[in-house]
Amino acid sequence: MKKVDLREKVLTANDKIARKNREKFSETGTLVLNLVSSPGSGKTALIEETVKALKGEYKIFVITGDLMTENDARRVARHGVDAVQISTGDACHLNARMVDARLTDKGTLYDLVIVENVGNLVCPAPYDLGEDFKVLLVAVGEGDDKPVKYPPMVRASEVLVITKTDLVPYTDSDPARIKANALKIRPDLKVFQVSVKTPEGLDEWTSWLSSRLKAKKQTAQGK
Amino acid sequence: MHELGIATQIVGVVTRVKEENSADRVGLVTVDIGLLAGIDRESLEFCFEAITKGTALEGASLRIEEVKPVGKCRKCGEEYEVRPDDFTCSACGSTDFDMITGSEISIREVEIESDEEG
């Protein structure tokens, strides 16, 4: 038996495509978000509100990932922005190649690309899509200790959005506890609390996003 | 179940190594898996066996070396073992750290064999 010393990262192929995606987006100053959460935490609803608030000022493209159906892309497209669905069949996460195939050529025409990953708090964590950052959503009522139960996803995310805060009176859930649990895993997380119904916190979220969009655009123009 | 995807990637790399070296068989494949990489060991072993059965890699076996998470504290600079359920710095109690090891998913070594050595 001969031993071949390899030391090769298993996700090298994915990471290469992700790097290529990221380079293209940084040339045009396109901000790319990768939304991750359990199924049902409100990713699509947050995207709808984000799109409504920002579509006047920015060109937005949305990619939604699910195993089956085009429901989410249709929901988003109603708001007059370009949206495409990735139906993964059985796959539990999106990878960089899927994003590249739908996007890279025209993705650079947009200011903001929002990728809604498959609802899953485990598998999307190690897959870089070429995004600027992952946004983790945890809904009120899904378990305040969710962040400490799924540390790799919290570690991989830069932003936490606690959703459905309008449900607080009807549950034993406390957004402050969700936040504290998440900060135990990643103390530098940027945290928002939103409700798409009331609409608490949405302005704060969209203005922050808008400032990140401008910053990215400026960096690209400065090159 | 992204272990199936990870196993598929491993099989792809190992197949490439086998072909590059014109080898006839693959023996032990050693992979380093960080304990904070979000990979379930048993699922990965199961997937690897399932997808190599009946292929050119039949008979290859997977050895998983678990890599303990080590972090460098951003507050005090201490390097400490990060427990998967408790990220607290052993020196100052902060949980703000950079991961040094523990998130890797990589192939360390592949054993290959050829019928005619030369």
pLDDT tens per residue, range B23-44:
999 999 999 999 988 899 999 9
**ipTM associated with this complex:** 0.80
- CATH number assigned to the domain with residue range B3-68+101-113, chosen from the 4 options 3.30.1490.20, 3.30.2320.50, 3.40.50.300, 3.30.70.920: 3.30.2320.50
Q: What residues of A are in the B interface, CB distance below 8 Å?
A: 1-14, 91-93, 95, 122-123, 125-127, 148, 151-153, 155, 183-188
Residue of B nearest to A3 (CA): B111
For residue B108, pLDDT beyond 70: yes
Q: Give per-residue burial for A103-114: e unless 16+ CB within 10 Å, then b.
A: bbeebbebbbbb
Question: Where is pLDDT greater, at B95 or A178?
Answer: A178
Inter-chain touch B105–A188, beta carbons under 8 Å: no
Q: Quick one: what percent of chain A has pLDDT higher than 90?
A: 78
pLDDT tens per residue, range A157-213:
999 999 999 999 999 999 999 999 999 889 999 999 999 999 999 999 999 999 999
Residues of A in contact with B17 (CB under 8 A): 4, 6
Residues of A in contact with B113 (CB under 8 A): 1-2
Domain-wise residue ranges, chain B:
3-68+101-113
Q: How far apart are CA A103 and CA B25, in angstroms?
A: 40
Please tell me the predicted confidence (pLDDT) of residue A218: 93
Question: Where is pLDDT greater, at A43 or B87?
Answer: A43
Distances in whole angstroms, Cα of residue B4 to Cα of each of A46, A156, B35: 31, 21, 18
Q: How far apart are CA A107 and CA A32, in angstroms?
A: 10
Question: Where is pLDDT greater, at B27 or B2?
Answer: B27
Q: Is B112 on the interface with A (CB under 8 A)?
A: yes
Q: What is the mean pLDDT of residues A74-97?
A: 90
For residue A91, pLDDT beyond 60: yes
Q: Is B94 on the interface with A (CB under 8 A)?
A: yes
A14-207: CATH class: alpha beta
Q: In sequence order, what E strands does chain A have? A: 2-9, 31-37, 60-66, 82-87, 112-116, 133-139, 159-163, 190-193
DSSP state of A12: H
**In this structure, are residues B45 and B64 in contact, taking their beta carbons and an 8 Å threshold?**
yes
Domain-wise residue ranges, chain A:
14-207
Q: What is the mean pLDDT of residues B84-99?
A: 87
E strand or H helix that includes residue B81:
strand B79-81
Mean pLDDT over each residue of chain A, to the nearest integer:
93
Please tell me the predicted confidence (pLDDT) of residue A33: 98
Q: How far apart are CA A33 and CA A135, in angstroms?
A: 7
Spell out the alpha helix ranges (H) of A126-201.
146-149, 151-156, 175-185
Residues of A in contact with B31 (CB under 8 A): 10
Please tell me the predicted confidence (pLDDT) of residue A88: 82
For residue B1, pLDDT beyond 70: no
Q: Is B12 on the interface with A (CB under 8 A)?
A: yes
Q: How far apart are CA A135 and CA A190, in angstroms?
A: 9
Nearest CA to A121 out of A133, A132, A137 is that of: A137
pLDDT tens per residue, range A104-130:
667 678 999 999 999 999 889 989 999
For residue A138, the distance in angstroms to the closest alpha carbon of chain B comes to 18
